[in-house]
Amino acid sequence: MEIRKFENIQETLYTDVLPNGLTINVVTKPVWLKCFALFATGYGGADRRFNLGGQWVDTPAGVAHFLEHKMFDTPDGDNALAVLSANGAQPNAFTSNSMTAYYFESTQGFYDNLRTLLSFVSVPYFTPESVEKEQGIIGQEIRMIEDNPGFVVYLNLMKSLYARNPIRDSVAGSIESIAQITDKTLYDCHRIFYNPSNMVLCVAGDVDPERISAMAAEILPKEPGEVPQRDYGEKEGPLPVKTRTEVNMEVSAPQFIFGSKVFQAEKGAPLLRQKLTVNLALRCLMGRSSPFYARLYAQGLLNNDFGYDLDYSGGYGTIMAGGESSDPEKVISELSKEVSAVADKGLDEALFSRIKKAAYGSRLRSLGSFGVLCQNLAEGKFAGYCDLDAFHVLEEITVSEVRDFIANNLAQDKLAMSVVHPLH
Residues marked as catalytic: 68
Q: Which residues pair with residue 324 across a beta bridge?
A: 255
Compute CA 307 distance to the chain's CA centroid, rounded to the nearest angstrom: 16
Which positions ≥6 away from 77 have C-beta within 8 Å?
A: none
Burial class (CB in 10 A: 0-12, 13-18, 19+), 241: middle
Q: Helices marked H in 326-420 — which ranges?
A: 328-345, 349-366, 370-383, 390-396, 399-409
Rounded distance, CA 157 to CA 170, Å?
12
DSSP assignment letter at 18: -
**308: helix, coil or strand?**
strand
Compute CA 171 distance to the chain's CA centroid, rounded to the nearest angstrom: 12
* Total count of residues recorded for the chain: 424
Rounded distance, CA 47 to CA 314, Å?
8
Task: Render the burial of 18-31: b for 16+ CB within 10 Å, e for the rest.
Answer: bebbbbbbbbbbee
Residue 87 phi/psi, 5-degree rounding, is -100, 20
For 36-105, the three-class secondary structure string (H helix, E strand, C coil) is EEEEEECCCCCCCEEEECCEEEECCCCHHHHHHHHCCECCCCCEHHHHHHHCCCEEEEEECCCCEEEEEE
For 241-277, the three-class secondary structure string (H helix, E strand, C coil) is CCCEEEEEECCCCCEEEEEEEEECCCCCHHHHHHHHH
- Tell me which H or E stretch contains 199: strand 199-205
Rounded distance, CA 246 to CA 16, Å?
49
